[in-house]
Structure 1
Amino acid sequence: MYTIAAINAMSKNEFIEKIGWVFEHSPWVADRTWVRQSTFESLQTLHHEMVKVVREAAREEQLDLIRAHPDLGGKIKMTQSSVNEQKGAGLDTLSKVEYESFLQLNNEYRTKFHFPFILAVKGHTKDSIYEAMKGRIHHTMEEEFETALSEIFTITFFRLEGVVQKVLEA
């Protein structure tokens, strides 16, 4: 864990290495955040600046960020963060029938939107994730693109919370 002061003292390369992973396979977010902001007042400020970088990015870059995420309940190679997050929601214990259901719905979702279903799984169960996927498959492309980005922002905030040490005020 790092304090905000330690993060503010990092070189660009160190910042990208230590913080850049929070946006799945997209170190460009940390790179651009470091360039535009010399210091961060808090975890919230750091996250806000990183979100601004993504919001200001070209749509194709945003789409690449969305596509960098793994399918929920899938068995492809994932980052350790994704493995831990999915495990916490019980996606590592899917029965054969549940796995097949997730696989089918993931495939339908990918066919329709051309990117993976994304959900900040913290606080969810495999059943609530499946129900969310079933509901969101009826969204329009624009609705789902915005929902995917919003979920990514939630995921990255949770990840940053695990990295940034909170300093208690007296």
Structure 2
Amino acid sequence: MQDQHAVYSQLSEADFVSLFSEIYEHSEWVAEQLWRQKAEQPEGYFDHLDKIKQTMADIVEQSSDEQKLMLLRAHPDLAGKTALIGALTDASKSEQSGAGLDQCSEEELAHFLQLNDVYRANFGFPFIMAVKGATKAQILEGFEERTPNDWKTEFDRAMNEVHKIAGFRLASL
């Protein structure tokens, strides 16, 4: 379906890349590749957010495992040090505050920091969960459920979560 009043395909390269640059956290390369693919599509193709979402996901999935790992590592910890110093992207700040992660008690915050450290030590990237609509309790359950996973299982799960986050971010445009 075409988005009402959407004319993304009419944007300049700079505006197009700027608009889509934070759909995948700190990974402007996805938006840049999306722009390059724009010339290969029929007129108005990128006026449909569902097509943009699928094309962006395809770009990410066709990238190297090293590039995917860099994308995962670009994400902040949930209720982590980046949030504490106020250095989250606007999208991450909104997502984390929507889940109540900006209102943790000292004990909850200490627990999140400990879980983040253990998870990152196990996998080499932060715990990633699409937290829109989730509660702190559900996020903690996610940590507990996923931390025992093997590396490949968790890498794949984290990538799925990244795509969910991208979908939420696109839907909010």
Give the TM-score of the pair, scaled to structure 2.
Answer: 0.89
- The DSSP-based 3-state class of the residue aligned with 1:22 is coil
Pick from 81, 86, 96 the counterpart of residue 96 of structure 2: 86
Q: Displacement of 1:34 after TM fit?
A: 1.4
Match of 2:80 in 1: 74
Match of 2:141 in 1: 131
What residue number does 1:19 align with?
20
CA contact (8 A) 2:6 2:48 kept: no
Q: Which residue of 1 aligns with 2:63?
A: 57
Q: Are 1:31 and 2:37 matched, yes or no?
A: no
**SS of 1:71 mapped into structure 2:** coil
Matched, 1:98 2:108: yes
Kindly indicate whether residue 120 of structure 2 is the aligned counterpart of residue 120 of structure 1. no
Q: Partner residue of 1:168?
A: none
Alignment of 1:155 onto 2:156:
no
In 2, Cα distance between equivalents of 1:24 and 1:129: 19
Q: Report the CA distance between 1:4 and its aligned residue.
A: 6.8
Cα offset for 1:40? 2.1
- For 1:4 and 1:63, locate their aligned partners in 2 and report how far apart those are by CA, in whole Å: 36
The one-letter amino acid of 2:172's match is G
Conserved? CA contact 2:7–2:47, under 8 Å: no
The alignment of Structure 1 onto Structure 2 pairs a total of residues equal to 162
* 1:41, distance to aligned residue in structure 2 (A): 5.2
SS of residue paired to 1:14: helix
CA RMSD of aligned residues (A): 1.4
RCO greater where, 1 or 2, for CA within 8 Å and sep 6 or more?
Answer: 1
Contact 2:25 2:75 in 1 (8 A): yes
- Structure 1 residue identity aligned to 2:32: D
Q: Deviations over 1:133-158 (max 9, x none)?
A: 11100111111111111101000111
Tell me the distance in 1 between the aligned counterparts of 2:152 and 2:77: 19
Q: Matched residues in 2 for 1:32 and 1:66: separation?
A: 18
Change (3 A) 1:101 1:52: same
TM-score by length of 1: 0.91
Tell me which of 145, 153, 167 is aligned to 1:143: 153
**Structure 1: where are the runs of 5+ without partners?**
164-170
